[in-house]
Amino acid sequence: MTYRAPVGDIAFTLKHAAGLKRALDEGLYGDLTEDLVDAVLEEAGKFATDVIAPLNRVGDVHGTPLANGAVKMPPGWKEAYAAWTAAGWNGLAASTDWGGQGLPHLINAACLEMWHAAAMAFGLGPLLTMGAAEALAAHGAEALKQTYLPKLVSGEWMGTMQLTEPQAGSDLSALRTKAERRQDGTYRITGQKIFITYGEHDLTDNIVHFVLARLPDAPPGTRGISLFLVPKYLVNPDGTLGAKNDVRCHSVEHKLGIHGSPTCTMVYGDDGGATGFLVGEENRGLACMFTMMNNARLGVGLEGVAVAERATQQALAYARERRQGRAPDAADPGMSPILAHPDVQRMLLLMRASTRAARAICYMTAAAIDRSHRERDEAARERAQERASLLTPVAKAFSTDIGIEVASLGVQVHGGMGFIEETGAAQHYRDARIATIYEGTNGIQAIDLVTRKLPLSGGAAVRAFLQELRGTVAAVREINDPALGATAERLSEAIESLERATDWLLAELASRPQAALAGATPYLRLFAVAAGGCALAEEALAATRTDSGHDAAGRLGIARFFAEHMAVASGGLEREVIGGADAILAAQAALAG
C-alpha cells in the first residue's frame, strides 16, 4: 500500500475549515476560482501519488552516500525532481514577477502536504528552496535577485538554509562562522555549518546557500549576525555557471530517518574563503532568516500532517485486509478484519482525527498568511499577521507531535509486521521523529507561543481567536445534532480551560517567567486541542449544510470522536499549565546528582 493523495479531504478542509470559500467570495484571491483550485489540487495529487510516492522507500533504502565530495541522490529522484519543477510546482506561491504562479500560500500549503506525504525526504528540499526564494525576494538587492531569484523560483537551482553550528543550535547567539568585507563589496566566508539539509546533492547544477555569519566588528549575540548568499558555483554576468566557490560538503549524517534527504556538514574556506553576497543589511541577518523560518515552520508542520496521513492510510488498508479474532458483533463466524475490533477502531480514529485537526490548523495558518498580504486595509492585514504569528508555533509543534503519535499508532496497528522494515510503517515512525526537532524544537515553539505570541496586542490576538472558538461551540449547540454527542460540552470545557490557562500565563509572564516557561508545552497542546476540535466541528457543520458528495456522517463522527477522546485531555492540560509549574520547579532534586 502506498500513498494516495486525499484530494477531496484536503479540498474540503481548505474550503470549510481554513476559509478558502469565504476568501474567494471576498475576492481576496483575485480571479482565482474554486474550479481552478480543484484542478490544481487534482494535478498535484496525481503527481504526488504517481511520481513521488513510489520514491519514498527507494530513498529510505538507498540514502544519499557521499563520495569525492559529491552526494548521489537515490535512483529516480533526479528525474522526478526535474519533472516536478518542469510542471511549475516549485513556484506555485511565488510572485509572477519572478516566474512564479502567484497562487495563495493556502494552495501551496495543501500541495506541500502532498509532496511530503508522498516522500518527506523529497518535499524537504523544495520547502527550503521556497523559503530561500522568499527571503531573497523580501530582502535581497535587485542585482542579486535578478541573478538568483528566477532560478530559485523555477527550482532550476535549489536553496539551503544554514544556521546551525556545533555550539549554536537553538541558541544562534553562539554562532562563529566569519564573514569579512572585501573591496569588491562581496564577503569572504569561513567556518563550518552542521545539519544542513540538502547541503549537497545532484538534483540541480547549482545550489544557493543562505548562510548566517558574523562580521569582525559585529556586536555580540544575535544582533551581530548577517545573512549571506553563497552559491556553490559563482555565476557569470551572462548567467552561466562560473568557478566553484570555496564551500564543500565534508560529510553526510547517518540518521534515524528521512534517508533520502542529505544532511550535510558544510565547510567554508579550505582555500581562503568562499565568496558571499550580503542579503539585507549587515547585522540584520536574523530578521531576514526569520522570513524563511516562519514559512519553513508551517512547512514542517505540514510534514507532520503528511506523515500522519500516509501512516493512517497504510494502517487503515492493513486493518481492512488483516483478519484476526472474531469481533463481538460479527456476522461472519470466521476471523474478522481487525478493523472490526473496537480497540483497533479507536487507534485508527485517533490517527484520522489527529491528522485532520492538525491539517485544519496548518491550513488556517496559511490562510492567515495570505490575508496578512492580501487584505485590503492595513488594520485587517495587521490582524491577519498576528493570527498567523499566533498559529504558526501551534501548527508546527502540534502537527509534528501528532505526526510521531500517529506514525507510532500506525506501527501498532500492524502488529509484528509493523516492526519489519519492508512493511513501511516503521519508516514513517523514523521519518516523523525529526519534525519535532528542526526549524525550532517544539519546546522552542511553545516558548515562542507563550512569551511572544500571547502578548501580541496586549493579548487581543489570542482573545479574538478564543472568541471565534466560542462561536463554533455556539453553532454546534444551535444545530443540536445527536450525532455530535457531547461535542459542544467537551469543546466548551476545552475553551474554558484554554482561557484560564491563557489568563494565568499572561499574568505570570511579568512576574514569574520561569513558571510561564514551565507550562509552555502543555499550554500549546491545550491550545491545539481546543482549536483543532473546533475546526473539526466546523467541518462537521459544513458537511451537514452542503449538499451531496460530502461525507457528513464521517465528519460528524470525527468531530465527536476528537471532542470526546482528545479534547477531554484539556482539564489535565490546564492543570499542568497552572499548577504544574511549581511541581517542576520543586523537583530539581530528582534531576541532581
As given in the structure block, the three cell numbers for residue 564 are 470526546
User: Does residue 510 belong to the site contacting a second copy (CB under 8 A)?
Assistant: no
User: Does residue 195 belong to the site contacting a second copy (CB under 8 A)?
Assistant: yes
Contact 585, 555 (CB under 8 A): no
Pick 159 or 403: Cβ nearer a second copy? 403
Minimum separation from the CB atom of position 275 to a second copy (A) = 28
Alpha-carbon distance 17 to 7, whole Å?
15
Is 439 one of the annotated active-site residues of the chain?
Answer: yes
Binding mask 153-172 for a second copy (x = CB under 8 A): -----------x----xxx-
Find cell 474550503 and name the residue.
Answer: 15
Angle subtended at Cα 424 by Cα 422 and Cα 428, rounded to the nearest 5 degrees: 145
Quick one: which of 302, 339, 449, 461 contacts a second copy (CB under 8 A)?
A: 339
Sites for a second copy among residues 343-362 (CB under 8 A): 343-349, 352-353
Alpha-carbon distance 590 to 182, whole Å?
54
User: Does residue 330 belong to the site contacting a second copy (CB under 8 A)?
Assistant: no
Contact 18, 367 (CB under 8 A): yes
Quick one: which of 109, 227, 293, 446 contacts a second copy (CB under 8 A)?
A: 446
Quick one: which of 35, 377, 378, 422 contacts a second copy (CB under 8 A)?
A: 422
Q: Which stretch binds a second copy (CB under 8 A): 35-43, 384-392, 469-477, 564-572?
A: 564-572
Binding mask 75-104 for a second copy (x = CB under 8 A): ------------------------------
User: Does residue 561 belong to the site contacting a second copy (CB under 8 A)?
Assistant: yes
User: Does residue 447 belong to the site contacting a second copy (CB under 8 A)?
Assistant: yes
HSE-up of 294 (CA within 13 Å, CB side)?
22
> What number of chain residues touch a second copy (CB under 8 A)?
99
DSSP state of 589: G
Pick 370 or 574: Cβ nearer a second copy? 574
Binding mask 567-586 for a second copy (x = CB under 8 A): -xxxxx--xx--xxxxxxxx
Quick one: which of 207, 426, 466, 505 contacts a second copy (CB under 8 A)?
A: 426
Contacts of 86 (CB under 8 A, 6+ apart): none
Return the number of other C-beta atoms located less than 10 Å from residue 355's C-beta.
27
User: Does residue 592 belong to the site contacting a second copy (CB under 8 A)?
Assistant: yes
User: Does residue 70 belong to the site contacting a second copy (CB under 8 A)?
Assistant: no
226-231 and 233-235 strand pairing: unpaired
Quick one: which of 429, 465, 504, 527 contacts a second copy (CB under 8 A)?
A: 429
User: Does residue 300 belong to the site contacting a second copy (CB under 8 A)?
Assistant: no
User: Does residue 507 belong to the site contacting a second copy (CB under 8 A)?
Assistant: no
> Which one of 113, 134, 303, 439 is the catalytic residue?
439
Sites for a second copy among residues 204-263 (CB under 8 A): 253-257
User: Does residue 553 belong to the site contacting a second copy (CB under 8 A)?
Assistant: yes
Pick 456 or 486: Cβ nearer a second copy? 486
Contact 436, 400 (CB under 8 A): yes
Contacts of 279 (CB under 8 A, 6+ apart): 135, 136, 139, 140, 144, 210, 227, 228, 229, 285, 288
Contact 504, 580 (CB under 8 A): no
Contacts of 560 (CB under 8 A, 6+ apart): 483, 484, 485, 486, 487, 540
Quick one: which of 37, 94, 215, 520 contacts a second copy (CB under 8 A)?
A: 520
Taken in order 331, 337, 340, 341, the sign of the CA dihedral is positive
Alpha-carbon distance 559 to 494, whole Å?
14
Active site residues: 439
